[in-house]
């Protein structure tokens, strides 16, 4: 290799950046000890900008395109170097390529709950998460304020700083919106747009903008969500008819008995039924008392009526029935010696034949027919 070839080998002819990553924001051209030849070709691709730095001072900035490096298109660097017009000599300068595309894989979330005052629920704690996009809009500010002399500046170096800015503005955005927590889901897009504008204004000094901000979810603590679910159930039941309220009570009692049957034990069944009836009574408000009416003569009253009987056939519960209704059930064949029977005060369901007050109605019931020969 001759002297001329050695000198040519130390000169850089093409300055470009082929980005093979998805998270690099700034990349410094690896000049090493080589010099950039005057007249070399600079290739700046779409979504890139090239910044020339001389001895720590930002000089010229190039937008996308292909350039032949000469003193005419390096006016600031030419001034810093003290070149005279037309002087074509190799030069040393740092070249930083800055990606100006949108980085869309940035996630955010609240590590700690955000406190806010809700017009309906009072003080509430909210957690939220989502994603946002960031892009460089002023490469010079980015280099001055964040990058410095870092040869490769990635998104993870600025991600946490951006996330902290997001969370710091989230509480004020939610509070100033004046939207009840229950209605926030319908306003995620509008809140996201407001936060994108606010964050862009906040990060303008760093040369970064937030073109898109997405709120994926805003949630309450689990115990508050469970309380809201119960209140919703109560609202559905209380808006129904008296019949639907009674059905709800029976449904609750049936669920309690099934749960007790799965767990085993008659005591569990009684407790489960009591819980079901208590929930039903709590949900269904008592019927308001009727207006006072003039006293009417009434016949002498006997002992208070006994509570009604419930029948269990094939896993289905019917009732309550009084004595006359039980006699009718026996006559119709619905009440048989093996039918399970229960009323308030009994510890568990028992066959009708073992309860004297019910067995008396079975006397007139013929036994099952014998099998045919």
Domain ranges of the chain: 3-99, 103-223, 309-362
Q: pLDDT for 226-238, tens place per residue? A: 877 777 776 665 5
C-beta separation of 76 from 125 below 8 A: no
Confidence band of 79 (pLDDT split at 50, 70, 90): confident
What's the CATH number of domain 309-362, 2.60.40, 3.30.1490, 3.30.2310, 3.40.50?
A: 3.30.1490
* Residue 252 predicted with pLDDT over 90: no
Lowest mean pLDDT segment, chosen from 42-46, 125-129, 245-249: 245-249
Lowest mean pLDDT segment, chosen from 5-9, 45-49, 60-64: 5-9
* Residue 289 predicted with pLDDT over 60: no
Q: What is the mean pLDDT of residues 192-198?
A: 92
Q: pLDDT for 349-360, tens place per residue? A: 888 888 888 788
Q: Which pLDDT belongs to residue 282?
A: 47
CATH architecture of 103-223: 2-Layer Sandwich (3.30)
Other C-beta atoms within 10 Å of 65: how many?
A: 12
The pTM is what? 0.58
Q: In whole numbers, what is the pLDDT of the chain averaged over residues?
A: 78
The reply to whether domains 103-223 and 309-362 share a CATH topology is no
HEC letters along the chain? CCHHHHHHHCEEEEECCCCCCCCEEEEECCCCCCEEEEEEEEEECCCEEEEEEECCEEEEEECCEEEECCCCCCHHHHHHHCCCCCCCCCECCEEEEEECCCEEEEEEECCCCEEEEECCCEEEEEEEEEEEEEEECCHHHHHHHHHCCCCEEECHHHHHHHHHHHHHHHHHHHHHHCCCHHHHHHHHHHHHHHHHHHHHHHCHHHCEEEEEEEEEEEECCHHHHHHHHHHHHHHHHHCCCHHHHHHHHHHHHHHHHHHHHHHCCHHHHHHHHHHHHHHHHHHCCCCCCCCCCCCCCCCCCCCCCCCCEEEEECCEEEEEECHHHHHHHHHCCCCCCCCEEECCCCCCCEEHHHCHHHHHHHCCCCCCCCCCC
């Amino acid at each position: 290799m001759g002297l001329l070839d050695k000198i040519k080998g130390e000169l850089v002819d093409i300055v470009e950046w082929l980005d093979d990553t998805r998270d690099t924001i700034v990349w410094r051209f690896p000049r090493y000890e080589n010099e950039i030849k005057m007249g070399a070709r600079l290739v700046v691709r779409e979504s890139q900008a090239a910044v020339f730095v001389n001895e720590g001072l930002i000089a010229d900035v190039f937008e996308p395109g292909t350039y032949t490096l000469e003193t005419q298109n390096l006016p600031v660097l030419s001034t810093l170097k003290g070149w005279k017009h037309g002087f074509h000599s190799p030069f040393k300068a740092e070249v930083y390529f800055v990606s100006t595309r949108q980085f869309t894989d940035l996630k955010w979330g609240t590590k700690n709950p955000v406190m806010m005052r809700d017009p309906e629920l009072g003080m509430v704690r909210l957690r939220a998460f989502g994603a946002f996009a960031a892009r460089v809009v002023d490469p010079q500010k980015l280099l001055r304020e964040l990058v410095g002399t870092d040869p490769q500046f990635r998104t993870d170096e600025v991600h946490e700083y951006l996330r902290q800015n997001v969370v710091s503005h989230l509480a004020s955005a939610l509070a100033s919106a004046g939207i009840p927590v229950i209605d926030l889901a319908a306003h995620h897009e509008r809140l996201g747009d407001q936060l994108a504008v606010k964050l862009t204004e906040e990060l303008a000094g760093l040369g970064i903008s937030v073109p898109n901000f997405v709120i994926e979810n805003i949630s309450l603590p689990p115990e508050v969500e469970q309380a809201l679910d119960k209140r919703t159930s109560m609202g559905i039941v209380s808006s129904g008819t008296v019949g639907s309220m009674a059905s709800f009570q029976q449904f609750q009692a049936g669920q309690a008995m099934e749960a007790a049957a799965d767990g085993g034990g008659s005591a569990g069944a009684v407790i489960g039924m009591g819980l079901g009836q208590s929930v039903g009574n709590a949900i269904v408000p008592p019927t308001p008392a009727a207006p006072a009416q003039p006293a009417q003569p009434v016949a002498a009253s006997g002992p208070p009526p006994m509570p009604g009987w419930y029948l269990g056939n094939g896993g289905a519960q019917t009732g309550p029935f009084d004595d006359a209704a039980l006699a009718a059930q026996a006559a119709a064949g619905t009440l048989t010696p093996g039918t399970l029977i229960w009323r308030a005060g009994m510890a568990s369901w028992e066959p009708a034949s073992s309860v004297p007050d019910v067995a008396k109605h079975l006397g007139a019931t013929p036994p099952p027919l014998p099998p045919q020969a």
